[in-house]
Amino acid sequence: MDIKNEVLYRIYILLFGIVVPVSIALMYRTVQISVVEGERWRTQGRDNYLEYRQVEADRGNILAADGSLLATSIPYFDLFFDPHASSEEAYMKNVDTLAQCLATYVLKDYTVGGAREFLLSLRKATDRHVILKRRASYSEKKFIEEFPLFRLGRFKGGFIAEKRSERKRPFGLLAQRTIGYVRENAKPVGLEGQLDTVLGGMPGQQLMIRVDPREDLWMPVDDLTLIEPETGSDIITNLDIDIQDITEQALMRAVNAHDAEWGTAVVMEVETGAIRAIANLGRTDEGWWETYNYAVGTAIEPGSTIKAASVMALLEDDFVDLDDSIRIYKGRAQFYDDVMEDASPYSAKLDTIRMREAFIISSNVGIATMVQDHYGEKTKANGNEGAARFIKRLKQFNLNQPIGIEIDGEANPYIKEAFSEKDYWSGTTLPWMSIGYEMKVTPLQLLAFYNAIANGGEMMKPYLVSEIQRFGETTHRIRPTVIDRRIATRKTIAKMQELLVSVVEDERGTAHKLQSNRYTFAGKTGTAQINYTRGARGTRIGGYQASFVGYFPVEKPKYSCIVVINRPRRGGFYGGDVAGPVFREIADNIYTAKVELHAPINLSPKPILVGNDLPGFSIGDQKDMKTVFQYLDIPYYGAPETPIAVTRVQSDSLILERRTMPEDRVPNVVGLGLRDALYTLENRGLTVEVDGFGKVSQQSLLPGTRIKGQAIRLFLR
């Protein structure tokens, strides 16, 4: 046999004797593992799958200005048991006492024997994630983790506590929409949504093993792999719990009483722009609810409340003054093809009135005529600018700019550009814009404008959040922001303030019936038509929108407030009848609740005392009376020798005179307080019976009667 054939034989032997059989065996085993036993191995692979999983961080709190919790996370725990974590020896050693504890406190449907059998069956099964209790409180979790076996810990005792958090609002629906929420498969809302990255903190990570792929259950491998989550920061808002509650309650009563579609009310601090309350109520099938933030997200045609801007434009351009005479054509005027009418009963009787009166009675015709006369056509004063000059003034008042509030969803204001075809500018646009139509602003944007008037012309940015804190320490402070140092001249602002006060105090003013004798406020009513269509047969109206915006107290404005009620169906629809009373109720209750709005009594001049103001014929212990008079700085004269004294008024002073109380006879105690009367009578051996409250007005035994230990009845009032 030659060498070549010998090599071939050896190769054949190697190929068919070793390589082919091994290949066949490998192919067989591959098919067996992937096909025949595939599902078992895939299941086992899934069961032992390791992955770094996210660990939820504790979410920060949202607090009111005084530190009250508006939103907080309440922790709860789902408690599980891994029966295969401990050794056989430890398991069997603790199974009896563990069964006793579980049957008594956790598995209350089991007897102790039944719980023991249950635990033994778990040891034989493969489940490593057995539910013991869902939504356990922290105290329950601490108690259960001290059970026998469980106290050995997660990895030696098998006790697993999976933390969850539930967002709670301690004050219920208070400022619900403003606080907002963050939910899966839903758009984030309010402060919770806008400041989610601040409140949410940084999640941690931990290596986990999947113990049940069917329910996507995971269990930590060990504590060494845990990257601790970073707790979220706390948000301190400007909301005042008292003012928020006052505002929501007043708004709730109004929308319910008037059967409205929705309503909103905002209270803001004049000097800083801090929002102290923001309430929104909309009609739902379940009743009134904060379904939408109308104050921020709804741009509306403001109606007559925009007349303040129209008059300010005229004053800024020096076209008119408050006492100038203007035409109102008895409350009816035609602008091109459209007719405008007044709602005020005063207009029908007059052809000419002063400009201030037109504003006070809210004359549509008067305001629109002034604006049309001075801006609608080319005049010597306005040159070629015309309507563009009026629009420029509205922009000067920042009515074309969004506020930039901290929560999402703010609607953009809409101010038409003069003569713009895109904006459908027509010959009637200017007069109708001057009374609050063919333009849109949100209630909050309109409030910022009126707040600037109250603040002497300085426009402040409305803001909700004042601080960001971490573990009680301030990390970021939000200061008041000035949007515009002066939206108009001091002269114009002063005249506008005068007009707004007159709307309330003048007997013809649209808010005159709302005025208070406790404090002064200023503002403007508004009534706007909504869902209207103009046609050859007139205007069809789909409803009304009532509003009132103003500030208080006038002498030193502290708060500004706007109220808007959409589509009231009963009880009237004018701003002065629907929205104005809500403003008044809010202002009344804030004035009562906030001490700083009241002038301190001791700062007023000290009154001259007269006889009627002094406590004449009061009777009591002489030392006590002198102490009181000295404390109140009331002059008195006299030093009677008796312990009991009586006061007599002389001019602007008091005279202390003696009151003799004999020891052996019944004394006269009429006028004494109960304490002094009891002391005097019981020390003389009399038994005293009392009827009524106050001072002694009558006694049953006549003064001077000899004392023999008898009973005496005192009548007090």
Q: Is residue 63 part of a domain?
A: yes
Residue at a domain's end among 211, 236, 261: 236
In terms of domains, do 629 and 581 share one?
A: no
Indicate the pLDDT class of residue 122, thresholds 50, 70 and 90: confident
Closest CA relative to residue 532, chosen from 191, 303, 210? 303
> How high does pLDDT run on average in the chain?
85
Q: Is residue 43 part of a domain?
A: no
In terms of domains, do 651 and 682 share one?
A: no
User: How far is the C-alpha of 219 from the C-alpha of 221, rounded, in Å?
Assistant: 6
Q: Is the pLDDT of residue 2 over 80?
A: no
Q: Is residue 289 part of a domain?
A: yes
Q: Is the pLDDT of residue 215 over 70?
A: no
In terms of domains, do 139 and 255 share one?
A: no
In terms of domains, do 321 and 429 share one?
A: yes
CA distances from 286 to 174, 252, 289, 343 (A): 17, 14, 8, 36
In terms of domains, do 205 and 80 share one?
A: yes
Indicate the pLDDT class of residue 211, thresholds 50, 70 and 90: low
pLDDT given at position 558: 96
Q: What is the mean pLDDT of residues 63-67?
A: 90
In terms of domains, do 61 and 109 share one?
A: yes
Q: Which helix (H) or strand (E) holds 21?
A: helix 20-31
Tens of pLDDT, residues 528-571: 998 877 655 566 777 999 999 999 999 999 999 999 999 999 99
Percent of the chain scoring above 70 in pLDDT: 86
In terms of domains, do 313 and 377 share one?
A: yes
Task: Give 531's DSSP letter.
Answer: S
In terms of domains, do 232 and 251 share one?
A: no
The answer to whether residues 527 and 546 touch, using CB atoms and an 8 Å cutoff, is: yes
Residue at a domain's end among 566, 581, 597: 597
Q: Is residue 42 part of a domain?
A: no
User: How far is the C-alpha of 627 from the C-alpha of 624, rounded, in Å?
Assistant: 5
Q: Is the pLDDT of residue 29 over 60?
A: yes
Q: Is residue 177 part of a domain?
A: yes
pLDDT given at position 175: 82
* Burial class of residue 189, CB neighbours in 10 A (0-12, 13-18, 19+): buried
Q: Is the pLDDT of residue 613 over 60?
A: no
Supply the pTM of this predicted model: 0.72
| CATH number of the domain encompassing residue 381 | 3.40.710.10
Closest CA relative to residue 303, chosen from 587, 562, 499, 535? 562
In terms of domains, do 542 and 638 share one?
A: no
Closest CA relative to residue 82, chosen from 136, 127, 145? 127
Q: Is the pLDDT of residue 343 over 70?
A: yes
User: How far is the C-alpha of 59 from the C-alpha of 71, rounded, in Å?
Assistant: 10
Q: Is residue 366 part of a domain?
A: yes
Residue at a domain's end among 205, 236, 267: 236
Q: Is residue 44 part of a domain?
A: no
Which long-range contacts link 104-109 to residues 24+ away (Cβ below 8 Å)? 105/143, 105/144, 106/79, 106/132, 106/133, 106/144, 107/132
In terms of domains, do 647 and 670 share one?
A: no
Tens of pLDDT, residues 398-430: 999 999 998 988 999 999 999 888 999 998 999
Q: Is the pLDDT of residue 643 over 70?
A: yes
The tally of domains found in the chain comes to 5
Q: Is residue 576 part of a domain?
A: yes
pLDDT given at position 273: 96
In terms of domains, do 169 and 198 share one?
A: yes
The answer to whether residues 441 and 453 touch, using CB atoms and an 8 Å cutoff, is: no
User: How far is the C-alpha of 78 from the C-alpha of 161, rounded, in Å?
Assistant: 6
CA distances from 583 to 246, 503, 588, 589 (A): 11, 14, 8, 10
Range of the domain at 106: 52-236
| CATH number of the domain encompassing residue 714 | 3.30.10.20
Closest CA relative to residue 638, chosen from 629, 441, 282, 216? 629
Percent of the chain scoring above 90 in pLDDT: 41
In terms of domains, do 442 and 518 share one?
A: yes
